[in-house]
Amino acid sequence: MQRGIWITRQVRARVQWTQGVRLRRLEYVLRPLLDAGLDADTIAAELHSWMLTWRPARPAEYIRAQLARQASAEHTAAALATPEPWGNDAAPAAFTAPRLDLVRSVLGGLAAGMAAYSARQTEQGLDDLTDAAAASDMAAFLGTTTSTGAFA
């Protein structure tokens, strides 16, 4: 008798909610665990660790989906555990710069970005609110005009 079928038969006898599944189908869905070299006791313990308080309508599909979820979670965890490409000696400047220099750098970047945005708005004719124009617009709205563009 083949090793996989023998182990699957033992698992099916030990895990009550799998007893209605055909032996070959159960062996097929347990193949990742069998290929990993797990024995019947370990596989049965794994299925019991899922702590089902209900009986799945299709136990083989449930096992397949659960094992796929676990494999996906392990893959994601392994990807997240991959170290960053830089070592401790070559950390980016943002992580090693003094706080004041970092703040100045961020503010300098914001100022440059705002200047570029303002220049682009002016090129497109959308920057019609210079200081004098804004004062004139507000004065006209309030009904008070001055020759200097300031409020009376």
Report, as an integer, the average pLDDT of 80-106: 65
pLDDT at 86: 56
Report, as an integer, the average pLDDT of 114-135: 72
Q: 97 falls in which pLDDT band (50, 70, 90)?
A: low
Report, as an integer, the average pLDDT of 122-142: 69
pLDDT at 93: 59
pLDDT at 5: 93
Reference 63, options 91, 101, 25; nearest CA is 25
Angle between helices 40-49 and 3-14 in degrees, nearest 10: 40
| Average confidence score pLDDT of the chain | 80
Q: State the Cα–Cα distance between residues 113 and 111, nearest whole angstrom.
A: 5
Ranges 42-56, 105-119, 131-145: which has the least confidence? 131-145
CB 116 within 8 A of CB 122: no
Dihedral, 6, 7, 10, 15 alpha carbons, nearest 10: -140
pLDDT at 119: 80
DSSP sequence for 39-90: -HHHHHHHHHHT--SS--SSHHHHHHHHHHHHHHHHHHHHHHTSPPSS-STT
Condensed to tens digits (0 to 9), the pLDDT of residues 40-66 reads: 999 999 999 998 889 999 999 999 999
Q: 152 falls in which pLDDT band (50, 70, 90)?
A: very low
